[in-house]
Amino acid sequence: MHACDKVALVTGAASGIGQALAVAYAQAGVAVVGGYLPGAPHDPAATSAKVEAAGGQCLMLPVDVTRAEQVEECASRAVAHFGRLDYAVANAGLLRQAALAEMSDAQWTEMIDVDLGGVMRVFRAAARHMADGGAMVAVSSIAGGVYGWEQHVHYSAAKAGVPGLCRAVAMELAPRGIRCNAVIPGLIETPQSLDPVNSLGPEGLSRAAAGIPLGRVGSAREIALLIRFLTSDDASYVTGQAVVADGGLTVRWPG
Ligand code: NAD
């Protein structure tokens, strides 16, 4: 066991926003238990190496967020290994393109199970193992969280559900001093958005940047720093909120 001041559980930690968050936590002296999806094309050792280079501690564990026992094991291992669990970040997510008329029930169910059910499983396990006074964050999206995105009804529905789930968790766990918030990222350059089949791809992201008031897409680190802020004591009076980080995209005047 390695005693630490604060310990965070982060799912989807082998890539993108989750990996950037593991590094951001390491830079703030927070130990990380990072979940990675077995079989996904992301090397969890890359996250461990970056965390160690930042002077932090990291335990990477195989966690499919559709598997309750794996999520539960991850939360209990956090306590067994580091002695406590303070923060839980439900970041893992799946993005698929599917036209409504062509969508199978299996496609719908898989998406809801990962992008909404996964959040519930992470928070449920955290509620069982987390110290009072902790904090939780889930990652929604401007797709569903604000906008409608054609060909992505299942993703949008799951992401729209995330802020509602967070509000209810915030109310239920407030008596324990545990806060719960959602972040709503705009267009962020990660493996997910760089996928030209299911998302915008590199060219789509460059085109979209022109319509973003800040003139660019966001980085994984910019979302990671927002999440780190929301779990930190600097956000001690913030709970039940959904915070948009999108370079001004969703408040742009439609003229
Ligand atoms: P990403 O693809 O790099 O990260 C998603 C991670 O989730 C991957 O590591 C993947 O292996 C993991 N994952 C997928 N299914 C899983 C499962 N069943 N169990 C456990 N892990 C699983 O992309 P990202 O952009 O860093 O995504 C992080 C979160 O941000 C996701 O929830 C995504 O929907 C959300 N998001 C991203 C953007 C964007 O523009 N990139 C915008 C809004 C929201």
**Cα 235 to chain center, whole Å?**
18
Counting from 1 in the atom list of ligand 1, the atom nearest the Cα of 40 is 11
- Predicted local confidence at residue 1, as pLDDT: 46
Is the beta carbon of 141 within 6 A of some atom in ligand 1?
Answer: yes
Task: Give the mean pLDDT of 2-23.
Answer: 93
Pocket test for ligand 1, best of 142, 190, 225, 226 (most atoms within 8 A of CB): 190
C-alpha–C-alpha distance, residues 226 and 224, integer Å: 5
- Closest residue by Cα to residue 12 from 229, 188, 145: 188
Distance CA 34, CA 11 (A): 6
Q: How far is the CA of 139 from the centre of ligand 1 (A)?
A: 9
Which of the four pLDDT bands, split at 50, 70 and 90, describes residue 3? low
Q: Give Cα 181 to chain centroid, integer Å.
A: 11
Q: Place 2 in a pLDDT band, splitting at 50, 70 and 90.
A: low
Residue in 122, 192, 199 to alter for ligand 1 test, most ligand atoms within 8 A of Cβ: 192
- pLDDT at residue 34 in the model: 98
pLDDT digits (tens, 9 = 90+) for 40-81: 999 999 999 999 999 999 999 999 999 999 999 999 999 999
* pLDDT band (50, 70, 90) for residue 211: very high
pLDDT tens per residue across span 81-123: 999 999 999 999 999 999 999 999 999 999 999 999 999 999 9
Cβ burial 90-113 (10 Å sphere, 16+ → b, else e): bbbbbbbbbeeeebeeeebebbbb
H helices of 117-219, in order, are: 117-129, 142-145, 153-173, 201-209
Tokens representing residue 101 in the block: 């008329």
Binned at pLDDT 50, 70 and 90, residue 125 comes out as very high
Nearest to 166 by CA among 136, 186, 143: 136
- The whole-chain average pLDDT of the chain stands at 97
Q: What is the DSSP string of 31-95?
A: EEEEEE-TTSS--HHHHHHHHHHTT--EEEEE--TT-HHHHHHHHHHHHHHHS---EEEE-----
- 3-state helix/strand/coil string of 211-236: CCCCCCCEEHHHHHHHHHHHHCHHHC
User: Could you tell me the pLDDT band of residue 255, with boundaries at 50, 70 and 90?
Assistant: confident
Are the C-beta atoms of 159 and 145 separated by less than 8 Å? yes
Q: For ligand 1, say whether the CB of 19 is within 6 Å of any of its atoms.
A: no
Distance 130 CA to ligand 1 centre (A): 23
Q: What pLDDT does 98 receive?
A: 98
Helix (H, G, I), strand (E, B) or coil at 143: helix
pLDDT in tens, 159-190: 999 999 999 999 999 999 999 999 999 999 99
CA distance linking residue 177 with residue 180, whole number of Å: 10
- Closest CA to ligand 1's atom 19: 64
Q: If you average pLDDT over residues 30-37, what whole number do you get?
A: 98
pLDDT at 10 over 60: yes
The ligand 1 atom nearest the CA atom of 218: 40
